[in-house]
A and B are shown apart, each in its own frame.
Chain A
Amino acid sequence: MEELLVGLDICDTYTQMCCVGQEKIHNFPTIVCRAKSEDRWMIGQEAYASALEGSGILVDKLLKLLRKEGTATICGVRYEGIDLMQRFLECVLARAMGEPEEIAAERPAVLKERAGQPVHSEAEPEQAGTETQAGTETQAGTEALDNADEEPLLMAAGVDLSGEAAPGVEPSGDRETEAEDRQGGETADPGPQGENAQEPEKAAEEESAGQPEIWKAAAGGTEPQKQWKYPAYDSSRIGQLVITVPKVSARLLDSLVVCADRLGIPKNRVHFISHTESFLYYVLSQKREVWNNQVAMFDLSEDFLCYYEMKVQRGMRQVTVVAEREKLDEGFNLDILSTPSGMKLADKILYACGERFLQRKLFSSVFLTGKGFENQDWAKDFMKLVCTRRKVYVDQALFVQGAGYKAADLARDKTSYPYVLICDGHLDATVSMKIQRRDQENQLVLAAAGDSWYEAGSTMEFILDHQQYLEFFISPTDPKRRKMVKLILEGFPERDDKTLRVQVQVGFLDENTMTVEVKDMGFGEFYPSTGAVIRQEVML
């Protein structure tokens, strides 16, 4: 069976998935639901339906739960963020394995009203971002980010998915505090309010008074309804999996690595990139005229507003592409777009941001992404500004497509992106050592600028000849910041010439911090190891 090249964009509110060679882009809310009666896990519309029926318990904000190492207690079982993310990913990846089969099942009456539309139907294929010329009205090329596939059920149930307080599913309350922190050591038993894991049945009972009839039906209906069964998850079918997250951190990536490992995906087949890198891959996959000069992007999501900027530096030997992401303080809640005055204010805010970033620079193109740009009617002044002298594209699935492009590239023998990429998640400095080889001094690169810092680590063994120290040469892209770091091997044995053999393990905590561990390896039966070890963090 053909191996899948999968791009996955996981955010706190939504998750998108694409498979290379398939047009369909899958959209899911980042939630997972466990059936009360059995150890069965659901995502997407099925998860909401189960929660609404009261037969399942739903957990949201899985990425935050993972990042904060939180836990959620469901049916008396305490699940860590990793456990829940693993189940979520398993369900998500199963959707990539093939077309669903239709099966008959008991479902709420409300679902019957949507006969002819599969309960688990995925979103229609995303369209490429719609190009907009100056003065032309822009049209979003995608469905709503949240969950196009859930729309039939949830709309019928009268639940606004995009809202934070879907009755019976996610009671109101500050859910950011719901994930318990492991350090706190408390158990997060579902309470009536403010927990990640909820029992919608109870909540539905409490809140059903005053709800429309249709909502009550969703909570208690038992009439049969068609269901869709997806092929089982099969790890061997994952050729390459590239997961993109808004911002990479060692803890988050470690957790995702564990999830992938538990799902049986070999380490060399799973990769993690930031949204900034996804943006780079996406842009670099477009025609060259799109990125001849600088490229800007505004990401307006429910919770934040981010500005991305990319520029290409053409050098003598290589082309370096630098991208930066800035989370703007001007971010606003999209709810304000529901009133004319709010729309005006939002437009004003964006216009100010646009003026600040886009003036006095030459941009080939500007990209707009995020739920806030599903339509741009509210942002007339801003659109007028960005559409002047440059092309503007709107794409709601930009990051996932960027991840997909990278997955496709990883499957190739030779990369189609022969550039040094400097962005969030990548090193902007080369770390090297001087070594002796065939009577000549050579530079051995331990990690190169543009490498993913998470994947960059290396382990090597060296013989030290008449020296009890190691020297690391750090060469950032800015030559003025070049430096040499000397690591003196205190406590290491002084041996005969060329018999001090050390293992050097280099890793990175983030793009600015390198960790070095040096270990005495001994020299065979001539000199056993003393076990001497030195660990040090080096700021790049």
Chain B
Amino acid sequence: MVFSRARQSYDGVVLAVPVTVPYQRYSIETAHWWMGKALRALADGAGISHRDFDGFSVASFTMGPDVAVALTQHFGLSPRHIDHVPMGGAAGIVSLRRAARAVQAGDADIVACVAADTNRVDSFRSLLAGFSRFSQDAVYPYGAGGANGSFALIARYYMDRYGATREDFGKLCVAQRDNALRNPDALMKKPLTLEQYMSARAIAEPFHLFDCVMPCAGAEAFLVMREETATSLKLPFVRLLSAIERHNAFAEDPVQVRGGWVVDRDELYGMAGSAPGDMDFVQTYDDYAVISMMQFEDLGFCAKGEGPDFVRQHTFTVDGSFPHNTSGGQLSVGQAGAAGGHLGITEAIRQLLGTAEGRQVKDAKLGLVSGFGMINYDRGLASAAAILARAS
């Protein structure tokens, strides 16, 4: 059997109208309320009615018992392409990829990609308790540390193996906080020093308070369409050059030290006609700084095991040598459930449209966004990435 390994190009696919519904630590509203706000902002931004969205792709942990089709009635949509992408931090790129193919094929003209989650006082605990069958059977009963406990095991292993230190993780967290201070939508408003990072209380060794994202309520959204649709709507847009996703890669690694990006990264850069060094900024999925470091390696910015050294060689603020998570990332903006996987995309769109205001990376033409998600048992299963480019 012969497989064609090369995927077709994403030519003509664009993204427009980045929407962030400002986050709240806790919300008494449901996920639907947040989705409604996001859809309204998308429609307002596009200057059309939400009924004109003929594609709808949704990601949420807290929309139950509804499924995507139920939401069409809830919001008065009548799409011909719908999608529910329950993939946590990879949902943004996966939604984008599928939406791109839908508009390329003419299955839809405008796909609204929406991620929204609420955060009630107890909803995070119930999400952890029932996250997956493997997690329920084989992780949660072991100290109920949630993602912190699971990633602490991954981080400790990475530190032992590659010599990363808490200071290295701290450097990324501190830089992101610096970026977040320029982002009015970030929940974290106070500066963070490395000393504060180092001396914060322990959560699950080696993680301390500032290694962990703050669960919150919020929504992120954007539109995917063909270039001519954007032009006719007079919408500023950015181009999708390439996108990859891979699930459950390297299952034989006893502890996760790499994600599926490694499998597909040559295609990612090949399709975009670019190299890692060409990127003007990078938005990694930063549920933990160690995972960002892993992405630097797996996306080819440095070799495996060189992540700690890469961090020591670079600066990561908006004006640094390696602008990274320019919104402040989830670590400083907040993690609004599945919206965390869309945060990097909306931020990348803004950077490439030149609308990132106080945190604008100078002359940003090319950017990489990465997604990672779903720690089903002992590792994050889903990895995805996309390269976006300024329209001209």
Q: Is A bound to B?
A: no
Binding site for B on A (CB under 8 A): none
